[in-house]
Amino acid sequence: MSTRLPQLDAITGAPLIGTWASSLLYMAELHQAVYYFSNFKQDNWKLKSYVAVAFTIDTISVVADYACVYLYTITHAGSLVYLTKQNWAVPLHVISTACVAFLVQSFLAFLYWRFTKNTIIICFLSILILATFGGAVFSGLTVVLFPAFKDRNKVWISGIFYIVIQVSADLIIAGAYVREFMKAKSVFRGQRQVNNMLNRLVLHTIQTGTATALIAMLALIVFLIDDKTNIPVGIMYTSGRVYVLSMLINLNIREFSGRAQNARTTSGQRETVRIAHGTTYNFTTEFYPSEPDGTSSGSVKSSVLLPTLRATASIPETQLPEIEMVPADAKQDPEV
């Protein structure tokens, strides 16, 4: 039996560097979480609970990452037997990150459905999201049963399947959002404030969607090149942080999308875009379900993250629409 230590750069070095990058992202995530819970107290308790669950699970994933490195470098430092295996923190990281990805992808898919009511795309996305979650959990359980690096071949099929499906889901979600935003921009042509907000949403969607996909693809490529190291694990350490950040930024961006600075208000800002030839679009910057206002009749008004565009009549394609921005609560004179 060989008494030579394995290459520590690949076994312990990669996870260590991964925790450094993960720590930086977790600080940004913590800042966004504190900002959300401090400034959007009027949001529905179900939404706040959903965010809290995602943040808590991702925190567990961060702790698992630190534990993995500590066990390798401190508790079992120099142990040949231990360094040839994946400790319990590795499958915990895989499963907890899968839970976070499932929650965030479901959150974004639900908002897309609220915006478009496109049942076909949502059904397809739901299949991808469930398949991603199932593949990740199966991969994590396989590592539990076969922790040795020499048995990494047993996780090849489920691992590759899980990462490819996850990348596909992320890119399709991002592409679907960008498509709807671009369609909205064509409707609000010439409206600088609205188009600036849509430009920020497009940029944010592309950045977050491609970031999670890029991390997963990079980890997959490294895994295919050499499956006997912890380098893919170190790369994936940042994945959960990016997912939760994308959800929190989607929530917090409301402050920068025309929402009143006073976070206690529940009405938000609403505008009606009245278009010539009989078409009316309602545009609102209040995006999420709010608690009932004490002065209201008791009904709860719900809206979505994305601008709500509802047409009451079709626009003739041969003539450009003329757009007029008027407050929704303003009394409108009947048009002749």
Three-state DSSP class for 327?
strand
- Domain-embedded: residue 311: no
Structural domain count of the chain = 1
pLDDT (average), residues 91-119: 93
Sign of CA dihedral 325, 114, 239, 206: negative
Residue 141's CATH number:
1.20.1070
Going by C-alpha positions, the residue among 261, 163, 270 that lies closest to residue 221 is 163
- Domain-embedded: residue 1: no
Q: Is 286's pLDDT higher than 90?
A: no
For residue 66, how many other CB atoms are within 10 A of its CB?
A: 16
Going by C-alpha positions, the residue among 283, 290, 299, 298 that lies closest to residue 267 is 290
- Domain-embedded: residue 315: no
Structure tokens at 109: 């898919």
Give the highest mean pLDDT range of 47-61, 146-160, 270-284.
47-61
Q: Is 93's pLDDT higher than 80?
A: yes
- Domain-embedded: residue 289: no
- Residue-level pLDDT at 272: 38
Q: Any idea what DSSP says for residue 74?
A: I
- Domain-embedded: residue 275: no
Pairing, β 279-284 against β 270-275: antiparallel
pLDDT (average), residues 52-75: 95
- Domain-embedded: residue 166: yes
- Domain-embedded: residue 147: yes
The average confidence (pLDDT) of the chain is 78
Q: What does the pLDDT look like over 145-154, one tens digit per residue?
A: 999 988 988 9
Work out the angle at residue 60's Cα, subtended by the Cα atoms of residues 56 and 61, and round it to the nearest 5 degrees: 115
Please give the residue range of the domain that contains residue 117: 8-256
Q: What does the pLDDT look like over 219-267, one tens digit per residue?
A: 999 999 988 888 999 999 999 999 999 999 888 887 654 443 343 333 3
Please say whether the beta carbons of 48 and 37 come within 8 A.
yes
Helix (H) or strand (E) holding 64: helix 45-70
- Domain-embedded: residue 266: no
Under 8 Å CB-to-CB from 180, ≥6 apart: which residues? 112, 115, 116, 306
